[in-house]
Structure 1
Amino acid sequence: MMNWKVYFFSTWCTVCALCLFSACTHSRSDQGTEEQVPDVISYNFNIRPILSDKCYKCHGPDASKREAGLRLDMPESAYQALKDNPKAHALVPGEPSLSEVYKRISTQDTMELMPPPASNLKRLSAYEVDLIKKWIKQGAKYEKHWAFVPPKLPTVPQVKNTAWPKNQIDNFILQKLEQKGIDPNPEADKERLLKRLSLDLTGLPPSLPMMDSFLADKSANAYQKMVDQLIQSPQYGEKMTLHWLDVARYADSHGYQDDNYRSQWPWRDWVIHAFNENLPYDKFVTWQLAGDLLPNSTQEQLLATGFNRNHKITEEGGVIDEEYRVSYVTDRTNTFGKALLGITLECAHCHDHKYDPFSQKEYYQVYSFFNNVKEVGIQSTVGGPETYAKRPMMQISNEEVKKVLNFINKQDTAKLIVSVMGDSDKVRPTYILKRGNYDAHGDQVEPGTPQSILPFTASYPKNRLGLAEWLFNKNNPLAARVFVNQVWQEFFGKGIVKSSGDFGMQGDLPSHPELLDWLAVDFRDHGWDIKRLVKQIVLSATYRQSAILTPEKAKSDPENTYLSRGPRYRLPAEFVRDLVLASSGLLTRTIGGPSVNPYQPPGLWENATSGRGILANYKQVHGPNLYRRGMYTLIKRTVPPASLGIFDASNRDQCEVKRLRTNTPLQALVMLNDPTVLEASRVLAARLLQDNNSTSAKVTKAFRLIMCRHPQEKELTILTAYYKDELKTMKKADAEKLLSVGEYPLPVNADKITLAAMMKVVDTIYNLEEAITKT
């Protein structure tokens, strides 16, 4: 690590100066608007969220916590006479004054008030009380939870500004904007739009020739041509795969204390291949859930089932075998619920779900689909290559890579093994586990699914293939909604349902429910075509809007809930690295293959290891492998990559459908001190100095490569002046120390002071907020 106070201070000051001239306006308003009670009250969208948040703890699905025998999540219970007072009813349709619910939430008597002050639940606001009063007056009608009702194709709404929409998505967005009295932003300029599009479809910045070509193309379909070009590039598959690696909790180590190496990367190669080949989503998921059970299954379909073997696996001696085997089955069950159904099924592992209509029995019915795998809790302790995968597993020969699995980037002749799925011939019985304890067997259960979502009928085989068929049944309300929401999240920073891992009663309501249903049905009815869905999103006027935030929109749409402007947020951790490497020319563009160990602070692994296995000590790679994309950085679960973790990358311990996005000083320190950023700055500076042109032209080229746009005049003035100042004040010893970072060779006979001065300019550009922000 480098620690030069003068270098840090001068660079940071220049960054701060440039930030004053940021191209986008930032504003914030803390002023709220008074909410108006709707004319028609919806149970799903107005009432259920209140009851779930304030009432279900004591009057919800969980029988063990229920008070007074009252359930407010079911109309038959809410309408009947109260157990403690037969003359009273919780709800009397049409009569708020006779309804104990309204009387208890509106009273000033703290002895009668609900929720009780001692419960630590917040009292209902006056607005919430008015909503419930009006709902009761309108008949107190219950509805099935919106997410558990199969979506129907809604009518595309009519809008006043008919010139703005470019496809059906825009009609849904504009309708709500017009209702709110908000105008959409104009389209972003071509430079910013190309940067956004390239990062979203490939995870990489556009090249200079791509920028020049797009700017020069004045045709009406110039943007669509660029979309087609990017979506057909092999980097598209890499970009789409990163999110799925989080979903599938992919990592390169087994986890737990020993945390030895695992050779699961061929499964990652398959995911990239599947996205590039546009494998329909129903097949993409079915192969991963049950590829081994398909009739005449192929090697590719078997490899796909590695999805369900990416969980943590112990290699420690002395553990209880059945305890850990149960934990593996539990992980697969929880991942299925969160990743593919968008529900918190894991909350029913120890007891009935407290908020959603999932019983503990139903949890273990889903669990039973994954309970028949030919595996043990502890197969072997840390050792050599034979422990890199766990049974059941597949061995991949060089011949298979050449002829069948040619998408696998196998780089040597060593034996390649991957953990996959494979069921026992004899069915293992499944029991409800009392309080979730592995050895506390309750009643035996058969394979099944939550009735509230969709019953599992006798027409399905009682195995994982049957579960996949159930998932993609036309009447399944969640499968399509959940995936299109995750894809939407990838392009706008948050889903139409913000809580993308929770479509249940405690989750967020969709900001545009009709749009979500339209996307889901359209996606399903067009063959689960992922590339088609992606193109619909990026071709929309909604996506193409400028990200500029005006004071008016900061007040009317502060969180961009209504999509009144384009998305603006920091790149995912891996793509921060990719942008730095790609813009400098260092990036190795090899697709797939084993994970690698780039630069890392010394001692991290050694201080957190059992001392066994090949991951006991960190062995950095060299040469081209040092400059591979961030998604190929080796993830050791107990000590995940520090530079990626600081930018909120997942440590892959469990399924994650949405990353946190934080903003901490450590991120600024990484951009200022990380060897990869400094080396990239040096290499790009050396390449700029090879051009026979002016300083202004060199700085402009660096700015375009990193920011993907031409600099403003003030930005260019500040950067060129900074370069000239560094030339005057730079000392040879400081220059040599600065240029010593990184393994990429220095140009022969380079003027070190000139190179170091240009390096600092480039590093300053990398440290601008806009550099690693999608705008």
Structure 2
Amino acid sequence: MALAWAAVLSAVLAATTQAANILDKVDFNFHVRPILSDRCFTCHGPDEKARKGKFRLDTAEGAFAVREKSGKTPIVPGKPEQSEVFARVMTTDPDDLMPPPESKLALNAEEKQLIRRWIEQGAEYKSHWAFIPVGDVGVPSIAGDTWSHNPIDKFVLERLRREGLQPAAEASRETLIRRLSFDLTGLPPTLEEIDAFVADPSSRAYERLVDRLLNSPAYGERRANEWLDLARYADTYGYQADVERDMSPWRDWVIRAFNENLSYDQFITWQLAGDLLPNATRDQVLATAFNRLHRMTNEGGSIEEEFRVESVADRVHTMGTAFLGLTLECARCHDHKYDPILQKDYYRLFAFFNNIDESGLYSHFTQAVPTPTLLLYADGADAKHKQLKERVKAREAKLADFEEAARVRFKSWLKSGAASIPEPPPAAAFAFDEATSNSTPNSANAAQPASLQEEPGLVEGKSGKALQFSGDNTVTCKGVAAFTRTTPFTFSLWIKPTQRQERAVILHRSRAWTDSGSRGYELLLENGRPNFGLIHFWPGNALAIRAQTPVPTNEWTHLAVTYDGSSRAGGLRLYANGELLPVEVLRDHLYKDILHRSQWGDFDVGGIELTLAGRFRDSGFKNGLIDELKVFARCLTPFEVKKAAGLSNATPTEADLFACYLQRVDPTYRAALAELRMLRDEESYFVNDVREIMAMREMAERRATYLLKRGAYDAPADRVEPGMPEKIFAMPADLPPNRLGLARWMVDRRNPLAARVVVNRVWRAHLGRGIVATAENLGSQAQLPTHPELLDWLAKTFMESGWDLKALHKLVVMSATYRQSSKPGPELAARDPDNKLLARGPKHRLEAEQIRDQALAVSGLLVREIGGRAVKPYQPAGLWEESGTGKHYAQDKGAKLYRRSLYTFWRRTAPPPTMLTFDAMSREVCTAKRESTTTPLQALVTLNDPQFVEAARVLAERLVRECGDDIDGCITRAFRLTTSRAPQLRELEILRQAYQEQLALFAKDPAATEKCLKVGEAPLDNSLPADRLAATTLLASTLMNLDEFVMKR
């Protein structure tokens, strides 16, 4: 790497105050930049809008430029006494002091001395260390080194020797197998695995153990558990309603990807842009669900575009944190205050994710999956669906042959004198000439009159009377026009708008406009232009066309809509006064049905009816008039449209007659149409039941992206095109300006960030602390790397390995550094309490999921099934109700109670309380690092949570069965199961005494015994002595509350 790491290494651990006293050479990145970034960049840094005095201190150009007004130079290299910055730092005049006294950011004496020395040495500026491409790093040569197992140790040992320290001894084999098992699989080792490893005399015993764990299916689960925090994975949408959704197929793909050791560059590429890869596979598209794991809402009053923009912004923030280790969100409203990321750069990145056909809201009234989606076929179902679609396509193509064959029969029909086109019979017809008891008759079916809500007025109409609407009242036609996407139909009606509305509902059969899809169909006027759509979920699973010209106001216009049941926009026609209207196609991708389904799967849920002139949360037909509504269960021909409206007095042409003959007379053609309808129905019924998941799919025409003032969705400024923060790493010209180009830019070896971020994260997973402690941020505000050359050597080695994650994990855990004992001596503990120097092994509390999974594993309750939908184990009653979601937690039964915690149902507004107590995240946003806290609540969980009490009881049954009357053997076995080591003699004595005391108490108190043993749903072994079982349960519970049970050492 280009940085002069060797000159600054010894100052990385030390505080800046110490650095001034021990360094001959001051380094800008490691000694000066942290001071300037903390104290100066807020007002004199990258953010142009926040910059004061037009003075910039984050670049050499700004710092060395002579000030116009004062003629002074902020920094004169080599001459601190002539540098205005240094004078301002050193002055005692509060009016001139920088930073100002009110900021509370004054430099201390040592920091001032660092600034002086840096200026004396030439005031050399450098790019932030993390923004410099990873270069070649030589492995240190250590004289007399007998400790190192691989190059990692060379870097660590060199540093230790310069600090006058020695590495710790290697940990015991029991400690190592426990450490490795948790780090690589998230589960404790079994006694058999411990014994086999301890007894293995081979020099390759440790490596064989590492390889076995890396190849365990549990490895993928362990790595996935870390990734879910970064991906903000949850089983609900979030926000107040926090409705359930199922994204588990993506989670299961992540597990497979880790187990199959998908290279990390491909892991990034598939998730960011798998759908854009040539001939993308199902898994590659499924991986893009990563971009759709953000929160969504459907709350009343929500503005669809506002929340769509929030979704896109979340993708940018997640990409920045997960893959680049940058706080991109800081540049959403203004230029980044610390890193060289302009607000324009933010929206250039935003543009990559702003090009899918999506809604900002999810459906309130249906379980429709927000588009775009991926259909998740069961085994063989994709081939079946393909076959069904091909049969439909073949039958559609065959219709032309049937049509040609019918011409001969048509000629005979013409000659017979039977040729005529009577007015087609409607399925429903409403003249609106009368209204009694809030009802108006249906002349086609007297049993299905229309209902008037809030009494639309009867006024003079096109023919007789018509209904005039206020914009709030409506007419409901019950039992009418329950059409599917495969049903041909026609609507015919007269309308008279009295004003030009931006949006007005003419008719629909749906629930609500803001139902993020309005599933059903709808006829609207948009600025006077007729618009008709069939919708499963808007916008990506729908058909919609819109007339190019508006209808006139204050005139009667006959509108007709015909649809041929093809599920294509080409099958829709709009007519005005009998003439076919030129239209623009708004959407042409309908692949699931438009009828509502209940939670039981039934179609056509009650309460959804054909409605005129208004809709819940939509704009009604204000002061508009409607007359002569007719509904046909057939796609009328153009001449029939005119006939239905009473507009045609002309004699039909032969083409008109032939079209009607095909539809209404010829038996062979009509039979072919019926067969086509049947095939379409079969395909529709089949695909309706195919599971789907949110994914990414680019729009054919790129959506325009604008810089948004202050980040507000409704305040667009200049248009921007997709691009990168060029001051970090410009996008090579040969990359496409889409998400695939973004992904390839991300994993370009010249990109300084991606490899550093992931190797630092892997290091933290195993050693407990990243080489850069701020794993979530490698930008200018990041903590300095403790071993910068090691970080870069790991990053380069990782890229050269082909981004091999298993190889990276193996490299780290094979090192002598990782294998050290975690026990520090008093001097080392005082000198390096956070183990930054790595003079001992890792020691930290297990993650929330590992603690629960360990209890299940040692008890024998753990169900090892991989993948599947989320499960709902024990949790306190009423938590979901208290969260205000209005939802009830329905606990699962049987094996689902004992799945790994990775599969526990994750509600964003009420995460699993056991996990939350042990610092799990809500996953509302991307999180790169969990904090580790210590609270009394944690002990209460392991003491009282039914999952832990039940696990203790089931473990006790196992112990009593396996050990019989051997109390010391029972205690020893329990101790080994829970801590992976044998108890010391004193520990055994204490536990034996505690067991005997509890046994005596339970022998005298059958009620307490029963209470102890009835916790949990696992069946109780009534053949075992109850008092012994209860006493052993408390023994097991005691061990599960030891520090060693919840700690990794």
TM range (shorter): over 0.9
Cα shift readout 1:419-475 (whole Å, capped 9, x = no counterpart): 111111111000000000001000000000001111123311111001011111121
| Structure 1 position 539 matched with structure 2 position 814 | yes
Aligned residue type for 1:767: N
Q: Which moved more, 1:364-373 or 1:549-558?
A: 549-558
- Structure 2 residue aligned with 1:626: 897
Q: In the aligned structure 1, how far is the partner of 2:61 from the partner of 2:947?
A: 63
Q: Could you tell me how far 1:699 is from its partner in structure 2?
A: 0.5
Q: 1:78 aligns with which of 44, 49, 63?
A: 63
Cα shift readout 1:518-542 (whole Å, capped 9, x = no counterpart): 0111111110010000000000000
Q: Could you tell me how far 1:403 is from its partner in structure 2?
A: 9.8
| Structure 1 position 592 matched with structure 2 position 864 | no
Aligned residue type for 1:710: A
| Structure 1 position 719 matched with structure 2 position 991 | yes
- Structure 2 residue aligned with 1:92: 76
Q: Does structure 2 retain, via aligned residues, the 8 Å contact 1:334–1:346?
A: yes
Q: Could you tell me how far 1:38 is from its partner in structure 2?
A: 1.1
Q: 1:571 aligns with which of 826, 829, 846?
A: 846
Q: 1:242-253 alignment to 2 at 5 Å?
A: 242-253=225-236
| Structure 1 position 684 matched with structure 2 position 955 | yes
| Structure 1 position 424 matched with structure 2 position 699 | yes
Q: Does structure 2 retain, via aligned residues, the 8 Å contact 1:288–1:301?
A: yes
Q: Does structure 1 retain, via aligned residues, the 8 Å contact 2:17–2:111?
A: no
| Structure 1 position 438 matched with structure 2 position 713 | yes
Q: Could you tell me how far 1:379 is from its partner in structure 2?
A: 4.2
| Structure 1 position 155 matched with structure 2 position 135 | no
Q: Could you tell me how far 1:32 is from its partner in structure 2?
A: 12
Q: In the aligned structure 1, how far is the partner of 2:96 from the partner of 2:377?
A: 73
Q: 1:577-656 alignment to 2 at 5 Å?
A: 577-611=852-886, 616-656=887-927
Computing the radius of gyration from Cα coordinates, the structure with the larger value is 2
Q: In the aligned structure 2, how far is the partner of 1:490 from the partner of 1:379?
A: 36
- Structure 2 residue aligned with 1:408: none
Q: Does structure 2 retain, via aligned residues, the 8 Å contact 1:317–1:381?
A: no
Q: Could you tell me how far 1:702 is from its partner in structure 2?
A: 0.5
- Structure 2 residue aligned with 1:733: 1007
Q: Could you tell me how far 1:39 is from its partner in structure 2?
A: 1.1
Unaligned residue ranges in structure 1 (runs of 5+): 1-29, 405-412
- Structure 1 residue aligned with 2:94: 110
Q: Does structure 1 retain, via aligned residues, the 8 Å contact 2:184–2:222?
A: yes
Secondary structure (helix, strand or coil) at the match of 1:398 reads coil
- Structure 1 residue aligned with 2:376: 396
TM-score relative to the length of structure 1: 0.92
Cα shift readout 1:620-677 (whole Å, capped 9, x = no counterpart): 0111110011111000111111110010111110111111111111111111111111
C-alpha root-mean-square deviation of aligned residues, in Å?
A: 1.8
Q: Could you tell me how far 1:382 is from its partner in structure 2?
A: 4.4
Q: In the aligned structure 2, how far is the partner of 1:258 from the partner of 1:509?
A: 42
Q: Which moved more, 1:617-626 or 1:389-398?
A: 389-398
Q: In the aligned structure 2, how far is the partner of 1:610 from the partner of 1:169?
A: 50
The structure showing larger relative contact order (alpha-carbon pairs under 8 Å, at least 6 residues apart) is 1
Aligned residue type for 1:228: D
Aligned residue type for 1:80: A
| Structure 1 position 338 matched with structure 2 position 313 | no
- Structure 1 residue aligned with 2:978: 706
Q: Does structure 2 retain, via aligned residues, the 8 Å contact 1:190–1:215?
A: yes
Secondary structure (helix, strand or coil) at the match of 2:707 reads strand
Cα shift readout 1:279-325 (whole Å, capped 9, x = no counterpart): 00011110111011111111111111111011111122431110010
Q: Could you tell me how far 1:608 is from its partner in structure 2?
A: 2.4
Q: In the aligned structure 1, how far is the partner of 2:744 from the partner of 2:18?
A: 47
Secondary structure (helix, strand or coil) at the match of 1:296 reads coil
- Structure 2 residue aligned with 1:22: none
Q: In the aligned structure 2, how far is the partner of 1:623 from the partner of 1:365?
A: 50
Q: Does structure 2 retain, via aligned residues, the 8 Å contact 1:366–1:448?
A: yes
| Structure 1 position 755 matched with structure 2 position 1029 | yes
- Structure 2 residue aligned with 1:41: 26
Cα shift readout 1:181-206 (whole Å, capped 9, x = no counterpart): 11111100110111000000000000
- Structure 1 residue aligned with 2:604: none
Q: Does structure 1 retain, via aligned residues, the 8 Å contact 2:45–2:58?
A: yes
- Structure 2 residue aligned with 1:672: 943
Q: In the aligned structure 2, how far is the partner of 1:340 from the partner of 1:735?
A: 53
- Structure 1 residue aligned with 2:637: none
Q: Does structure 2 retain, via aligned residues, the 8 Å contact 1:153–1:521?
A: yes
Q: 2:219 aligns with which of 229, 236, 245?
A: 236
Unaligned residue ranges in structure 2 (runs of 5+): 1-13, 385-685
| Structure 1 position 372 matched with structure 2 position 355 | yes
Q: In the aligned structure 2, how far is the partner of 1:582 from the partner of 1:391?
A: 40
Q: Does structure 2 retain, via aligned residues, the 8 Å contact 1:172–1:515?
A: yes
Secondary structure (helix, strand or coil) at the match of 1:300 reads helix
Q: In the aligned structure 1, how far is the partner of 2:882 from the partner of 2:128?
A: 49
Counterparts in 2 of 1:58 and 1:701: CA distance versus 1, 3 Å: same
- Structure 1 residue aligned with 2:54: 69
- Structure 1 residue aligned with 2:643: none
Q: Does structure 2 retain, via aligned residues, the 8 Å contact 1:258–1:382?
A: no
Q: Does structure 2 retain, via aligned residues, the 8 Å contact 1:263–1:416?
A: no
Cα shift readout 1:567-600 (whole Å, capped 9, x = no counterpart): 1111111111011100111100001111100001
Q: 1:119 aligns with which of 103, 117, 121?
A: 103
Q: 1:267-306 alignment to 2 at 5 Å?
A: 267-306=250-289
Q: In the aligned structure 2, how far is the partner of 1:129 from the partner of 1:382?
A: 64
Q: In the aligned structure 2, how far is the partner of 1:421 from the partner of 1:560?
A: 43
Q: In the aligned structure 1, how far is the partner of 2:1027 from the partner of 2:125?
A: 74
Secondary structure (helix, strand or coil) at the match of 1:330 reads helix
Q: Does structure 2 retain, via aligned residues, the 8 Å contact 1:431–1:442?
A: yes
Q: In the aligned structure 1, how far is the partner of 2:342 from the partner of 2:171?
A: 49
Q: Does structure 1 retain, via aligned residues, the 8 Å contact 2:359–2:370?
A: no
- Structure 2 residue aligned with 1:519: 794
Counterparts in 2 of 1:610 and 1:232: CA distance versus 1, 3 Å: closer
Task: Name the one with the larger strand percent.
Answer: 2
Secondary structure (helix, strand or coil) at the match of 1:65 reads coil
- Structure 1 residue aligned with 2:4: none
Q: Could you tell me how far 1:112 is from its partner in structure 2?
A: 2.6
Q: In the aligned structure 1, how far is the partner of 2:288 from the partner of 2:164?
A: 49
Q: In the aligned structure 1, how far is the partner of 2:805 from the partner of 2:157?
A: 24
Q: Which moved more, 1:540-549 or 1:417-426?
A: 417-426
Q: In the aligned structure 2, how far is the partner of 1:497 from the partner of 1:416?
A: 42
Q: Does structure 2 retain, via aligned residues, the 8 Å contact 1:315–1:382?
A: no
Aligned residue type for 1:67: K
Counterparts in 2 of 1:82 and 1:401: CA distance versus 1, 3 Å: farther
Aligned residue type for 2:116: K
TM-score relative to the length of structure 2: 0.68
Q: Does structure 2 retain, via aligned residues, the 8 Å contact 1:182–1:556?
A: no
Q: In the aligned structure 2, how far is the partner of 1:457 from the partner of 1:475?
A: 10
- Alignment length, in residue pairs? 730
Aligned residue type for 1:605: W
Cα shift readout 1:705-759 (whole Å, capped 9, x = no counterpart): 1101111111111001100111122321111111111011111233221111111
- Structure 1 residue aligned with 2:147: 164
